[in-house]
């Protein structure tokens, strides 16, 4: 059932899900899901509406405990009882509905929850310097002032701030749920560039997206969920758009040319 990718290095994947199952009453949101997320790569999670993508990432970010199955972090089983636990490991999730505070400025948003102090007060100079550097590292250049409230930013800029916040908190794994959903062409390009920059810097990205153009542009690996089951996982090169669509809509594809079974047997 499960097909696994080309994780040939002997380093364990950053995250590994084994037999993850989650139900809501009679609804089986996830059924025996296996997935490997290798470090420093972009893994795209595709699937139709209701396939279970959001449930999967919410489990990974500690919002929901799975009914059964386990989560391995760098090869070791972990129990995520709360978002705090996930954050401690270095998992940051950027949700569809952004978690930014409109009334606060960019710097304040980036440091919210991790504010540096000096003599009991906020250390504004340190905050500004670090914020500027992080944004520059991410090649975010379009914001006029890092002291403007995020309410005045465009959708893509807001995504950038959310990502910068994640980087700031030393995230190892950044999970993004539909980061381009509300964006136009230029803004989407900006966010995709951001994702590439992130992974160039060694941050692992798990990207949830409906948009297959986006997926093929940035993903190293693709995983497809169908009705709560993981129906295909493999390097992006072993898929094309039609194959992914087949998997998303029917759960199978006759044209899939991965060598994934072999990897699966190794486990």
Interface with another protein includes 193 (CB under 8 A)? no
Extract the tokens encoding 217: 């542009």
Q: How far is the CB of 116 from ligand ATP (least distance, A)?
A: 36
Interface with ligand ATP includes 229 (CB under 6 A)? no
Q: How far is the CB of 248 from Mg ion (least distance, A)?
A: 13
Interface with another protein includes 234 (CB under 8 A)? no
Binding mask 23-52 toward ligand ATP (x if CB under 6 A, else -) reads -x--x-x-----------------x-xxxx
Interface with Mg ion includes 54 (CB under 5 A)? yes
Interface with ligand ATP includes 55 (CB under 6 A)? yes
Rounded-to-integer distance, Cα 126 and Cα 130, Å:
6
Interface with ligand ATP includes 190 (CB under 6 A)? no
Interface with ligand ATP includes 224 (CB under 6 A)? no
Rounded-to-integer distance, Cα 230 and Cα 35, Å:
8
User: Segment 129-168, which members bind another protein (CB under 8 A)?
Assistant: 151-155, 158, 165
Residues 6+ apart with CB under 8 A from 146: 105, 106, 107, 128, 131, 132, 135
Contacts with another protein by CB under 8 A: the residue count is 34
Among 1, 25, 49, 120, which residue interacts with another protein (rule: CB under 8 A)? 120
Interface with Mg ion includes 59 (CB under 5 A)? no
User: Segment 79-98, which members bind another protein (CB under 8 A)?
Assistant: 83-84, 87, 93, 95, 97-98
Q: How far is the CB of 30 from ligand ATP (least distance, A)?
A: 8
Residues 6+ apart with CB under 8 A from 239: 216, 222, 232, 256
Interface with ligand ATP includes 207 (CB under 6 A)? no
Our CA dihedral for 157, 162, 163, 165, rounded to 10 degrees, sits at 120
Interface with ligand ATP includes 53 (CB under 6 A)? yes
Interface with another protein includes 184 (CB under 8 A)? yes
* Shorter beta-carbon distance to ligand ATP: residue 24 or 186: 24
Extract the tokens encoding 215: 């997926």
Q: Where on the chain is the footprint of another protein (CB under 8 A)?
A: 83-84, 87, 93, 95, 97-104, 108, 112-115, 117, 120-122, 151-155, 158, 165, 182-184, 186-187
Q: Where on the chain is the footprint of ligand ATP (CB under 6 A)?
A: 24, 27, 29, 47, 49-55
Q: Where on the chain is the footprint of Mg ion (CB under 5 A)?
A: 54
């Amino acid at each position: 059932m499960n097909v696994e990718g080309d994780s040939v290095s002997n380093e364990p994947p950053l995250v590994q899900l084994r037999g993850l199952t989650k139900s809501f009453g009679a609804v089986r949101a996830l059924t025996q899901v296996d997935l490997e997320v290798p470090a420093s790569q972009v893994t795209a999670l595709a699937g139709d509406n209701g396939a279970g993508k959001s449930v999967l990432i919410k489990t990974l970010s500690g919002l929901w405990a799975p009914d059964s199955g386990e989560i391995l972090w760098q090869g070791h089983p972990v129990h995520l009882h709360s978002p705090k636990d996930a954050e401690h490991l270095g998992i940051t999730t950027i949700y569809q509905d952004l978690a930014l505070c409109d009334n606060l400025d960019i710097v304040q948003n980036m440091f919210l929850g991790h504010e540096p102090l000096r003599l009991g007060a906020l250390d504004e100079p340190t905050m500004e310097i670090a914020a500027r550097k992080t944004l520059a590292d991410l090649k975010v250049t379009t914001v006029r002032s890092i002291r403007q409230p995020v309410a005045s930013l465009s959708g893509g800029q807001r995504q950038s701030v959310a990502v910068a916040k994640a980087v700031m908190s030393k995230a190892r794994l950044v999970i993004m749920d539909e980061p381009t959903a509300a964006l136009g062409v230029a803004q989407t390009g900006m966010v995709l560039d951001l994702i590439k920059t992130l992974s160039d810097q060694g941050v692992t990205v798990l990207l949830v997206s409906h948009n297959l153009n986006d997926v093929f542009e940035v993903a190293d690996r693709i995983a497809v969920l169908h009705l709560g089951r993981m129906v295909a996982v493999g390097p992006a090169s072993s898929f094309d758009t039609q194959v992914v669509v087949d998997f998303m809509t029917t759960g199978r594809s006759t044209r899939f040319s991965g060598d994934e079974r072999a990897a699966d047997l190794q486990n």
